[in-house]
């Protein structure tokens, strides 16, 4: 079954983690043996061959470049111009992947339909290009709004204004503030260009401001439920209801700290906490209970998003193991039609409606 993953930091892994994603995961991890510069060295679960093995033919792939003010302790760039340059290097990597036939960029409804038809033609997927929709995680790198137009011309089709901490346009996880005027202007410009608003990572105050100001399509590429794991990174039921009212799809994220209360980074393990793919489905099922149907959930794994196997469901060895999800859903009583919605149908319906 075709699977869509609505959040993967592929270019970050390629450039900042120096991973050749055209190689099998086993080779990537072997090459990282003995390295300690990143906490997840040797624990990668994502590569292009593994995506193909898992029938994951379409992904939302990110660019990311955070600006940090002098007092901000988070890692990031010291000027918006540097952050922009970082995202352009990431764009260049995607473009090389396209030139090499490894990936193909999806920007329009016709490109989407053609690519889905390719992946559903019944032929072996091992040499098919992985489609990607370009998304920007955190808007700090948009030097000013003219740069948003440049980004759109390069294929940017979704944008999350915030990431972690205080942002230039919006505050995100572990921070709190209403949208500033720059953030409001950003949303209006996104509306004008037809860029999807990704509500993921927005702090509560910015979330409600954004839904009031932004009139276009909204999704949450990788977000879970505060009712199950209480943290400001997660959505409250009230926020989930507001997104459902806007026709949003919410992608289930697979970072274990979002799936197990009081997770201790570097100490807790998925095995001892029994974090599995079913734990992710608990969150997706909760959204279904709020919605009354299965029309608003999908996969947004965030796998290898600055964590690896040490902080992923323990029954997942590589991203290719997402092929286990349909049977797990059926075991919960989901119909075949609803399983298709979760694996690809809801994201496709959202995109077709938004881009038509």
Q: How far apart are CA 38 and CA 28, in angstroms?
A: 14
Q: How far apart are CA 28 and CA 14, in angstroms?
A: 11
State the helix-helix crossing angle for 204-213 and 181-193, rounded to 10 degrees: 40
Q: What's phi and psi for 12, nearest 5 deg?
A: -60, -45
The predicted-structure confidence for 195-228, as pLDDT tens digits, reads as follows: 999 999 999 999 999 999 999 999 999 999 999 9
Contact (CB, 8 A) for 172 and 233: no
Hey, which residues does 220 pair with through a beta bridge?
A: 250
- H or E stretch including 56? strand 56-63
Domains of the chain are 3-355 (3.20.20.140)
Q: How far apart are CA 356 and CA 341, in angstroms?
A: 19
Half-sphere exposure of 4 (CA within 13 A, CB side): 31
pLDDT of residue 353: 98
Kindly state the percentage of the chain with pLDDT values over 90.
99
Burial class (CB in 10 A: 0-12, 13-18, 19+), 24: middle
Average pLDDT over residues 263-276: 96
- pTM, to two decimals: 0.98
């Amino acid at each position: 079954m075709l699977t869509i993953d609505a959040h993967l930091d592929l270019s970050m892994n390629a450039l900042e983690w120096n991973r050749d994603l055209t190689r099998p995961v086993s080779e990537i991890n072997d090459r990282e043996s003995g390295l300690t510069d990143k906490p997840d060295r040797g624990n990668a679960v994502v590569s292009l061959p593994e995506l193909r093995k898992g029938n994951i033919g379409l992904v939302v792939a990110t660019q990311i470049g955070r600006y940090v003010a002098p007092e901000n302790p988070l890692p990031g760039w010291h000027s918006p111009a540097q952050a922009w340059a970082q995202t352009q290097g990431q764009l260049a990597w995607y473009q090389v992947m396209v030139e090499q036939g490894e990936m193909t960029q999806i920007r329009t409804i016709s490109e989407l339909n053609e690519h889905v038809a390719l992946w559903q033609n019944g032929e072996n997927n091992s040499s098919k290009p992985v489609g990607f929709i370009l998304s920007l995680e955190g808007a700090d790198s948009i030097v000013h709004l003219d740069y948003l137009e440049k980004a759109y011309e390069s294929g940017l089709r979704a944008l999350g204004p915030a990431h972690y901490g205080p942002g230039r346009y919006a505050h995100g996880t572990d921070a709190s503030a209403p949208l500033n005027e720059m953030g409001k202007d950003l949303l209006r410009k996104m509306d004008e260009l037809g860029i999807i608003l990704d509500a993921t990572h927005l702090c509560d105050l910015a979330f409600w401001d954004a839904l009031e100001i932004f009139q276009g399509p909204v999704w949450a590429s990788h977000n879970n439920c505060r009712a199950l794991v209480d943290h400001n990174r997660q959505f409250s039921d009230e926020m989930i209801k507001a997104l459902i009212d806007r026709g949003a799809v919410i992608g289930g994220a697979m970072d274990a700290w979002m799936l197990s209360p009081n997770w201790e980074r570097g100490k807790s393990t998925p095995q001892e906490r029994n974090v599995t793919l079913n734990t992710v489905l608990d969150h997706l099922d909760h959204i279904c209970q709020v919605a009354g149907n299965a029309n608003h959930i999908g996969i947004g794994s965030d796998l290898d998003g600055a964590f690896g196997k040490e902080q992923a469901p323990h029954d997942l060895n590589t991203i290719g193991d997402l092929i286990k999800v349909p049977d797990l859903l059926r075991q919960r009583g989901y119909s075949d039609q609803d399983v298709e919605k979760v694996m690809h149908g809801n994201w496709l319906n959202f995109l077709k409606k938004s881009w038509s």
